[in-house]
A and B are shown apart, each in its own frame.
Chain A
Amino acid sequence: MRHVISVSVDNEPGVLSRVTGLFSGRGFNIESLCVAPTIDPDVSHITLVTTGNEMIIEQIIKQLRKLINVIKVVDLTATEHVEREMALVKVKAEDRQRAEVLRIADIFRCRVVDVSPASYTLEITGTTEKLNAVLGLLKTIGIQEVVRSGSLAIQRSRKD
């Protein structure tokens, strides 16, 4: 099963390598990984997507907690959370296709961030499923290049 895990770590050199080394050393899989400093400059935040059965996920979480530089680990999958991913995609757009690309961009609330006579570059934000849907449609027109950020996720606030 797919799990989204949120990890707070010391913002120090080598910490990311401790985290990824834990995965590679134990044969666990990382589907995506997003890292950046938080508002506290001493702390970085990692959003990590991985897959595995219950026992593997339990091991991953415990092993992460065991690292000295890891401050907090939360498995967001078990809680209400918001998840977003971003992609930048360069689509072939000539003649009649130029309008079609813009229509798709409009339907999915993408932004055009770069234009050339033969292509558009779109910025797409949404869930992983939404990104997959848009990329599926654009593929039929012709994708020249695509880069994805990997998932970011945050716990929903309590409503009461």
Chain B
Amino acid sequence: MKMTGSQIFLKCLEREGVKHIFGFPGGVVLDIYDELTRAPFIKHILVRHEQGAAHAADGYARASGKVGVCLVTSGPGATNTVSGIASAYMDSIPIVVFTGQVPTPLIGNDAFQEVDIVGITRPCTKHNYLVKDVKDLARIIHEAFHIARTGRPGPVLVDLPKDVVQGVTTPKFPEQIRIKSYNPNYHANPKQIKKALELILKAQRPVIYAGGGVILSKASEELTKFAEALQIPVTTTLMGLGGFPAPHSLWLGMLGMHGTYYANMSVHHCDVLIAVGSRFDDRVTGKIEEFAPHAKIIHIDIDPTSISKNVVVDIPIVGDCQDALSQLNALAAEHLPRELSQAHRAWLAQIDQWKKEHPLTYDRNSGDLKPQFVVEKLYELTQGNAIISTEVGQNQMWAAQFYPIRHPNRWLSSGGLGCMGYGFPAALGAQVACPDDIVIDIAGDGSIQMNIQELATAVEYDLPVKVAILNNGYLGMVRQWQQLFYERRYSFTPMVSPDFVKLAEAYGALGLRAEKPSEVEAVIREALNTRKPVLMDFRVAPEECVLPMVPAGAPMHKMLLT
């Protein structure tokens, strides 16, 4: 049967199981948008800026574990998605971005709203395509979804020239996929697994350092089982939060620049470090030469390029985290139950000591409204059950420190790219994926303004996301660095903001404000009891710092604690 390009496009999305698209129309995608009126199986959410579409697709993917999809027009529509694509790329999030393109005869002619988006996004996508012939459309879309969701996931962009979308052909929808040069290795080598387990069983001071790979491969149950069976403490990266059920007796919290004292001390002093689905980012390792200096390192990752990229690894294991951990669990079972060695018990006692000496804390008696207090209250009043998204900066670190995440896919944060403006649209995406959950964006007064226009989207589609703005009147994290390393010269970090309560009302959302600690609970309760989007403006202590902190370039055990 003959079909147009736009009919094929929508048929392909249906075959991939797509239920939601985040998008914004324009000249060259008119045909697709016209066809959308005849596609009841897909719900299109109209964002207010294309960056919001990319982040929303990302948040949707993180919360649901499915591929997020967005659709935008050529030129500025396409370039506006780039920050969102780059963020998804850094965090290995599966999204497929469809961009319109000028008709093929015009490509390269500097046509109206033309941009070489395939060229622009080459370094920040897992793969991208320019479709030149409507006959290739069905195959390419199928490949795009396959590449986005398999192996180390990531964003894939498909550029659709207008004449391709308007073209007519009898499509062949591929059932199977064969890309001869793309075969990710899921199965970890059993020999390496055996070697790793031997090393782990002999370890006196083992630590697991888990990252986003645990979430992406749905390995958190296997991870928890392994850690509990062998009594190994677990720290995770920002991306790995939710991969291990916090709070837990073996839980060390997050490591790295704003990690807990005890997580960083444990990694610094361990003799075997088991890295699972993590990539030794500089925000985690600090001064790389002094990272885990006494440890033999085991590294499990599906992406071979992650292994021995920053740190030389003793036992590399290329494979899916879930596969590797279940093999480790099966093999470890032969050694169970197992009496812990004297040294291992002493190690756990040492860690408990560190936890007691320097727990995560802040000045609770100052009388000021502290941002950490707000996050703690959010945790308490949601019983830790909300999906949390964050913006970037101090708000993100306080959220990571004071809202322990119990389950995977409940924590959405732009980790690698550190993209301000991520949290709010990502929260909308998560709310679309999980309509019955409470979704909270923990934000700052700076970063919320980077995509504040999406309030209109939230109101239009009745997405009752709660935004908790930790409003300190500064670009807080940059201000903190200026305070600590630039002698308090606050260059362009003080910031004037609109009245967020009135702003919320102008958009048709609810605005609430708390200026004193005593007002916080009532505000949060009202927000949680309101079935519409809410902006909560918490006027917090302006010069509060995120602590502990490892100064950039310092080794991890040299933390600023006060």
Contact = CB atoms under 8 A, between A and B. Distances in A.
A17 B180 contact: no
A135 to B, nearest CB: 36
Contacts of A68: 126-127, 147, 179, 181-182
A69 B181 contact: yes
A70 B179 CA distance: 11
A28 to B, nearest CB: 13
Interface in A1-25: 10, 14, 17-18, 21, 25
A71 B180 contact: yes
B305 A66 contact: yes
A149 B147 CA distance: 36
A62 interface: yes
A58 B130 CA distance: 30
A22 to B, nearest CB: 8
A98 interface: no
Contacts of B308: 55, 58
Contact of A63 (B126, B127, B305, B312): B305
A141 B308 CA distance: 50
Contacts of A29: none
Given A55-B312, A68-B181, A69-B181, A62 B305 contact: yes
Contacts of B126: 68
Interface residues of A, number: 19
B448 to A, nearest CB: 32
Contacts of B147: 68
B122 interface: yes
Contacts of A18: 122
Interface string B305-336: 10011001000000000000000000000000
A148 interface: no
Contact of B122 (A17, A59, A62): A17
B167 interface: no
Instruction: Find the residue from A21, A65, A67, A68 having the highest chain B CB count within 10 A.
Output: A68
Interface string A64-100: 0111111110000000000000000000000000000
Contacts of A63: 305
Contact of B309 (A14, A59, A67, A70): A59
B103 interface: no
A64 to B, nearest CB: 10
Contact of A66 (B123, B179, B180, B303): B303
B291 to A, nearest CB: 15
Nearest to A8: B181
B119 interface: yes
Nearest to B309: A59
Contacts of B130: 14
A65 B312 contact: no
Contact of A71 (B181, B303, B304): B181
A66 B122 contact: no
A62 B304 contact: yes
A16 B127 CA distance: 14
A125 B294 CA distance: 53
29 contacts: A10-B181, A14-B118, A14-B119, A14-B122, A14-B130, A17-B119, A17-B122, A18-B122, A21-B122, A21-B123, A25-B123, A55-B308, A55-B312, A58-B308, A59-B305, A59-B309, A62-B304, A66-B303, A66-B304, A66-B305, A67-B181, A68-B126, A68-B147, A68-B179, A68-B182, A69-B181, A70-B181, A71-B181, A72-B181
Interface of A: 10, 14, 17-18, 21, 25, 55, 58-59, 62-63, 65-72
| 7 closest cross-chain pairs (CB), A and B | A62-B305, A71-B181, A68-B127, A62-B304, A25-B123, A68-B182, A63-B305
Given A68-B147, A68-B181, 4 more contacts: A59-B309, A66-B303, A68-B182, A69-B181
Interface of B: 118-119, 122-123, 126-127, 130, 147, 179-182, 303-305, 308-309, 312
